[in-house]
Structure 1
Amino acid sequence: MTVRAATYNVRGLRDSVPALRRVITAMRADVVCLQEAPRLLNWRARRRDLAAGCGLRVAAGRRRGGVAVLTGPRVRVLHAESHLLSVIAGLETRALAVAVVAVEGVRLAVGSLHLDLREAARIRHATEAMALMRRAAARFDAGMLLGGDFNEHPPQPTWRYLAAQLTDCYAAAPSGDGLTFTARRPRHRIDALFATRDLRVVSCGGVAAANADLTEASDHLPVLAELRVVP
């Protein structure tokens, strides 16, 4: 059985929402990890409307931190939780949204994370997020999938920390060049999906959507992975 999972920084819906809906719809994803989800005026309704317009629903995520998990029609949500990560003076509030889901009998703890521009904050928050993810996964005997905008490149410390414990999906089964930022001139791979090693990565890369939509929907490109799991 294959699960389609995606991660996407949607820049607070400040770009073309119709283009964004078309890109997310093109994913045909079972789970979508969002970063920079709306968190100001009417944030709940804006998240809900975006999800509904793509045939999805909001499974997890609160206002602060701007992270959320959306799920598709064949996904059953077993549990949802949101956590504020440790506050660091002068830096933006960071959070982790977690949805524990069942897809045709397979359980997954799916987390969405957006790390800081400062390296020390990134490693601190990644460590906290991994502990929270492990706790949720253990409680439900679930595999783990973490999607996010990590604001650093694969050779850097936080990326190495995550890749030592989880599979970097793109590195395992790359499709395309993997670059995600900026959408108009992609030169960096700072967005990624990481999965527990019991989930076999079939492919990971970009989304087959119109280039005009990809450049108008956000300043980031999404990452989509196909994962093969056994119930």
Structure 2
Amino acid sequence: MKEAKKLKHKADAMSEKVGKSFIYLEAALSFVESGIAMEMDPQTPKSAYTMFSETVVLIRFILKLRSYSDPASPASEKDFAILCMRFQSLLQMAMFRYKREAALRYSRTLTDHFKSCKTSPSPRVSKATSTPSQMSPMASPASSSSSSHSSATAPANTVALPQAIHQVASTYVSITALFLSAHSVWEQAEEMAPKGSGVLGELDSAIGPLTLLSTMSAVVRYTRQGLHWLRQDSQQTH
């Protein structure tokens, strides 16, 4: 943890964006290694989740430092972005796995609740007549206006959602959003891969490709080696 903070502070003080992003990514790797160590400690598993979550925020910031989205940007920019995106995606998958059992419970709770809800019968509406009955006096303009106003402002039939169910639904959505975001970011990285230099393909061959089921230890090893190679390439081109 101390090393991770030291690296982050070092990056904070830098102005050159490429070098700054490299140091930040190195710090992110150190933070995740701290999170992995926390996972091994039965007293701090929740701290690991928080560490992964904060690292995702850092990676998003790192990506903003680079110009990978510019069509004219070099392949090396794409390589770095792909490396970061895969890292982010798999961190979010790890976070989802922490919450998966809770998501399943919430899903069952929501399913049971909505199954138990009974649709209220629609109110019976009397058929209006086009002309007033001869036995009934003509309604006055005032009473007609009042009746019309009352009808217009009557609330529509609504189904009240219990506060507890609302909270369950909100939490369920936030957990499943991790899964969806992880897949979305992974797909963005895959779409960008053909625009890279090919160095990450070599990394796949050397270390083994990552998948959405890769462990965090495998992610750190892959990302650290990729960072090392990209740094070397950057130094050779400057």
Same fold (TM over 0.5): no
More strand as a share of residues: 1
- TM range, smaller chain: under 0.3
Higher relative contact order (CA 8 A, sep 6+): 2
Structure with bigger gyration radius: 2
